[in-house]
Amino acid sequence: MATVDDVREIALALPGVTERVGGHTGEPSSRLPSGQIAWVRGPSKVDLRQLADLGVPWPDGPVLGVRVESLEEKAALLATGADGLFSVPHFDGYPGLLVQLDAIERDRLAEIIADAWLARAPVLVAKQWLAERGLD
């Protein structure tokens, strides 16, 4: 099980990531100058209504929104049926998905956040980071 503190530790260890707390939710978000990569997200009234229409409850515990590279990557991740990964109608057409922190292991969360960072990081910084880890 992962926590919001795990999110902070993982994200802030990535080059250029800063945290912003506030906005309309008062929750933390991890971002690069090019935009958010991960943010704590509660359900909106619209989310709750749409999920109720589908007969699906909003999960208990903290939920993280994460940016993904593309709609294809989002579909592939969701198709795995992995515990803790889901989407809501509000995210239709948006390259992002939701992660139920209570249902995901920290190591898997670290992979997801790193991929979100790679989707937004400057190309040369991302290449260097991957090379340092033998992932290029």
What are 42-52's pLDDT values in tens digits? 888 988 998 88
What pLDDT, in 10s, does the model give residues 83-115? 899 999 989 999 999 999 999 999 999 999 999
What domains can you pick out in the chain, each with its CATH number? 4-130 (3.90.1150.30)
The pLDDT of residue 23: 63
HEC sequence for the chain: CCCHHHHHHHHHCCCCCEEEEECCCCEEEEEECCEEEEEECCCCHHHHHHHHHHCCCCCCCCEEEEECCCHHHHHHHHHCCCCCEECCHHHCCCCEEEEEHHHCCHHHHHHHHHHHHHHHCCHHHHHHHHHHCCCC
